[in-house]
Chains A and B, each alone.
Chain A
Amino acid sequence: MASLSYREKTLYASLVIELVVYLPYFFLHGQNSVGKVAGMIAAIILLQILAQGVIAAVTGNRITDERDRLIELRGYRVGYFTFASLMALGLAALWFHASVLHNMNMEHHNLGLHFLSVFFGMLVIADITRTVAQLIAYRRAL
């Protein structure tokens, strides 16, 4: 950990927290509820504050520079592209089910929650992709 910059340490912590909190979300997809999603968001915020506080306390040199900012921008670009792609795929799948297969039951009582879950899942995947893209950029040429 000593050879990592402050930003890299915070990114690794973010990735671990995201995976620990979000992975159950995907495995328990059928049992999702609004309360569970809200709890997950609250857990992420609390764990991030805790982890960032610990890293800031144990890291003496906390400076960030131009390379950190460039890598951050690259991460956001990858994350945005991932989210936009997933949204396009999701909308295409929705159209396919509704128009071609005609098996979209809009009266289903869980439909709203299902859409919310899928949308939240896209955000989660985009966020994890953003973090991983930044970590890769730190290890490879920029």
Chain B
Amino acid sequence: MPAIRNQVRELRAARNITQQELADQVGVTRQTVIAIEQDKYSPSLETAFKVALVLGVSLEQCFQYDPKGKR
């Protein structure tokens, strides 16, 4: 399991936001949103805050840190 996991896919689907719309609002590429959702990329703190802000949740609801996870 990765050290930083997220619920971006679930939160985005619940709000009927497409990956492209989320990417545009956060200011990243759609490929980066895909990588975040697949736990292939841990975003910077600034991007993580922006994602949480766009999805209307707190950072902790969106991203979780597992100290035993693989970095």
Interface size class for chain B? 10 to 19
Cβ 8 A contact of B32, one of A3, A65, A140, A141: A65
A68 contacts B29, CB within 8 Å?
Answer: yes
Interface of B is mostly: loop
Closest to A65 in B: B28
In the complex, how many residues of chain A place their beta carbon closer than 8 angstroms to a beta carbon of chain B?
17
CB distance from B8 to the nearest CB of A (A): 14
Can you list, as one digit per residue, whether each of B55-70 has a CB less than 8 Å from chain A (1) or not (0)? 0000000000000000
Which of B29, B32, B43 lies at the interface centre, i.e. has the most chain A CB atoms within 10 A of its CB? B29
Closest to B43 in A: A66
Can you list, as one digit per residue, whether each of A5-17 has a CB less than 8 Å from chain B (1) or not (0)? 1111000000000
Tell me whether A61 is interfacial, beta carbon within 8 Å.
yes
CB distance from B21 to the nearest CB of A (A): 12
Tell me whether B30 is interfacial, beta carbon within 8 Å.
yes
A67 contacts B27, CB within 8 Å?
Answer: no
Residues of B within 8 A of A67 (CB): 28-29, 31-32, 35, 41, 43
Further contacts, 15 of them, CB under 8 A, given A4-B31, A67-B32: A3-B31, A61-B29, A61-B30, A64-B29, A65-B27, A66-B28, A67-B28, A67-B41, A67-B43, A68-B29, A138-B31, A141-B35, A141-B39, A141-B41, A142-B41
Contact surface of B with A, Cβ cutoff 8 Å: 27-32, 35, 39-41, 43-44, 47
The 8 closest A-B pairs by CB, nearest first: A141-B40, A65-B28, A5-B31, A5-B29, A67-B32, A142-B41, A66-B44, A65-B32
Q: Pick 6 A–B contacts, CB within 8 A, sort by A.
A: A5-B29, A5-B30, A67-B31, A67-B35, A142-B40, A142-B41
